[in-house]
């Protein structure tokens, strides 16, 4: 039997990675506990197992009276005083003091030993060894699982749903390894059926008495990043990098991508041929919409792109407060804000800037009331906005304009105005003439008054005096008889028609 123990310990050390010394020490502790339960067991004893032959012996420890009293006093002080049970009100006394092996081994030179191995201890030893070895195997497997997944936080894993209830979903990662998907880490509206294969992110690994606890999540933004790394080779190779991810699980996500290689389009690489790559990610996320935004170092352009699919007219940035005022056409305001502010909220998370969205009409009204103080700053964009003020954004290196596409289109046109100030495309009237235009009050003063206009006109009485009377008008008209006499008779008309027929 002893030879079998040595062989079993060697196999476990090779296959399970369990240290032989650790197993032998655990076996000695178990055998000592089993010996103390036998009849006529010594008060103090130790068990020694031979590492090569597997033979075990029990030795009784004989302590000098003064050493035993000293050690017992030390143990009683560590145990503490009796306490009162708060529920029953009874006194709770600590367990009878017992001197552990480590303390006894410190005074081994003062302690006598005597062989006290029982005659029938072999059967007890075999059963105890079996239990200890099985227990140590389970502990070693749990430790190996913990060490394996401890360093895999944030990693994408694939598992099979085992069971699901109102508290959590149990996901099997591999044989005898399971993870928990709590309700708080699940996406609203998703169903997890038995046997279904799902992907998730490891968020926490902790060691517990029953084994390691592995927590996974389907809501983490890192799930988006990991899925794109899985589907897009350029991201896995480092040619394209995901700068940031903003996500509302189950509704919409935005990712900012940048290329580190010339000639590689980061957005096109993530979309894939005919949208095949992004379609795989959307399918795994059960239809969650994904916006892929090109990352830009210039905040104004980055914020404008982050509000996609809405079209942005202008972006005014405040570098100190990290706030961007975005001006959009009136028909794009609801699209830029999104349902319940979803699009604006995701854009703010993605860029790290506070985004304030204004329609053109609303912005014009606010500007008319308050106005915007502008300063002449070198390196500033030269574009003149629709409201007549200069763009506050910084110009790009080697250009007079900032990164907004509408402003870049002004390059080479010879004009800095986004909207022509008048129909002929020239400069504003006050800039062309160099003179101040008269105000509305001055124009009104120059117009003649109503009295001055009417002063040279004849009065109604004078107009009536110059008009002929009704009798004079009737006298000038010819009578009915005179009109009839001047008309040709019927016979004359017939004769004329006959003459015309003969001529034809």
Q: Would the pTM count as exceeding 0.85?
A: no
Contact 323, 354 (CB under 8 A): yes
Return the number of other C-beta atoms located less than 10 Å from residue 293's C-beta: 24
- State the Cα–Cα distance between residues 407 and 240, nearest whole angstrom: 28
- Please tell me what DSSP assigns to residue 215: E
Identify the H or E element spanning 222.
helix 222-231
Q: How many helices (H) and strands (E) does the chain have?
A: 21, 16
For the purposes of burial, counting CB atoms within 10 Å of the CB of 406, is it exposed (0-12), middle (13-18) or buried (19 or more)?
A: middle
Structure tokens at 245: 């991810």
> What is the architecture of the domain spanning 2-63+111-142?
2-Layer Sandwich (3.30)
Residue spans per domain, the chain: 2-63+111-142, 151-217
Runs of H (alpha helix) within 54-120: 65-79, 101-105
Strand 252-259 and strand 240-248: pairing? Answer: antiparallel
Neighbours of 492 (CB within 10 A): 10
As given in the structure block, the two tokens for residue 182 are 């709590």
CATH number for region 151-217: 2.40.50.140
Q: Which residues contact 460 (CB under 8 A, 6 or more apart)?
A: none
In this structure, the chain runs to a length of 504
Contact indicator for 264, 234 with CB cutoff of 8 Å = yes
Q: Do domains 2-63+111-142 and 151-217 have the same CATH topology?
A: no
Give 358's strand partners. 327
Tens place of pLDDT for every residue, the chain, 504 residues? 466 777 777 777 777 677 777 778 777 888 888 777 777 778 888 888 877 777 778 888 888 888 878 887 777 776 666 677 777 767 666 565 677 777 777 777 788 888 887 777 777 777 777 777 777 778 777 887 888 888 888 899 999 999 888 888 999 988 888 899 999 999 988 888 899 999 999 999 988 767 788 999 999 999 999 999 999 999 999 999 999 999 999 999 999 999 999 889 999 999 999 999 999 999 999 999 999 999 999 889 999 999 988 989 888 888 888 889 999 998 999 999 998 899 999 999 999 999 999 888 888 887 777 655 444 444 678 888 877 777 878 888 878 888 888 888 888 787 778 776 654 444 444 444 344 455 545 554 556 655 665 565 666 556 556 566 656 655 666 665 554 455 555 455 545 655 555 555
User: Rounded CA gap, 198 and 192, in Å?
Assistant: 8
């Amino acid at each position: 039997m002893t030879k079998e123990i040595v062989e079993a310990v060697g196999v476990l050390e090779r296959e399970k990675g369990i240290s032989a010394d650790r197993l032998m020490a655990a076996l000695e502790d178990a055998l000592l506990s089993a010996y103390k339960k036998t009849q006529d067991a010594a008060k103090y004893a130790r068990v020694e197992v031979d590492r090569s032959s597997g033979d075990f012996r029990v030795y009784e420890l004989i302590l000098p009276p003064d050493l035993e009293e000293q050690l017992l006093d030390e143990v009683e002080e560590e145990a503490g005083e009796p306490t009162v049970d708060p529920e029953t009100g009874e006194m709770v006394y600590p367990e009878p003091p017992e001197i552990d092996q480590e303390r006894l081994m410190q005074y081994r030179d003062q302690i006598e030993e005597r062989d006290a191995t029982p005659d029938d201890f072999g059967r007890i030893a075999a059963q105890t060894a079996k239990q200890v070895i099985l227990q140590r195997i389970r502990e070693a497997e749990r430790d190996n699982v913990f060490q394996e997944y401890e360093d895999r936080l944030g990693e994408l894993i694939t598992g099979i749903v085992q069971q699901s209830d109102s508290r959590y979903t149990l996901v099997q990662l591999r044989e005898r390894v399971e993870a928990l998907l709590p309700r708080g880490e699940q996406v609203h509206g998703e169903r997890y059926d038995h046997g279904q294969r799902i992907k998730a992110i490891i968020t926490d690994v902790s060691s517990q008495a029953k084994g390691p606890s592995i927590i996974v999540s389907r809501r983490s933004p890192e799930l988006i990043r990991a899925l794109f790394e899985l589907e897009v080779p350029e991201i896995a190779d480092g040619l394209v990098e995901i700068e940031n991810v903003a996500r509302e699980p189950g509704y919409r996500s935005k990712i900012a991508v940048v290329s580190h290689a010339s000639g590689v389009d980061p957005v096109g690489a993530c979309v894939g041929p005919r949208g095949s790559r992004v379609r795989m990610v959307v399918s795994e996320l059960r239809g969650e919409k994904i916006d892929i935004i090109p990352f830009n170092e210039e905040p104004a352009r980055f914020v404008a792109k982050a509000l996609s699919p809405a079209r942005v007219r202008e972006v005014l940035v405040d570098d100190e407060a990290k706030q961007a005022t975005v001006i959009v056409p009136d028909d794009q305001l609801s699209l830029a804000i999104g349902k319940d502010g979803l699009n604006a909220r995701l854009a703010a998370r993605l860029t790290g800037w506070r985004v304030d969205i204004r329609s053109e009409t609303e912005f014009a009204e606010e500007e008319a009331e308050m106005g915007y103080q502008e300063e002449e700053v070198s390196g500033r964009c030269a574009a003149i906005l629709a409201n007549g003020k200069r763009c506050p954004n910084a110009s790009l290196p080697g250009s007079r304009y900032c990164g907004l596409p509408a402003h870049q289109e002004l390059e080479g046109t010879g004009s800095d105005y986004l909207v022509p100030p008048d129909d002929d495309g020239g400069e504003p009237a006050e800039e062309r003439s160099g003179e101040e235009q008269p105000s509305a009050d001055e124009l009104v003063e120059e117009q003649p008054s109503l009295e001055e206009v009417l002063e040279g006109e004849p009065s109604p009485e004078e107009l009536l005096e110059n008009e002929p009377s009704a009798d004079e008008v009737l006298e000038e008209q010819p009578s009915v008889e005179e009109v009839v006499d001047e008309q040709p008779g019927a016979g004359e008309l017939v004769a004329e028609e006959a003459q015309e027929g003969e001529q034809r």
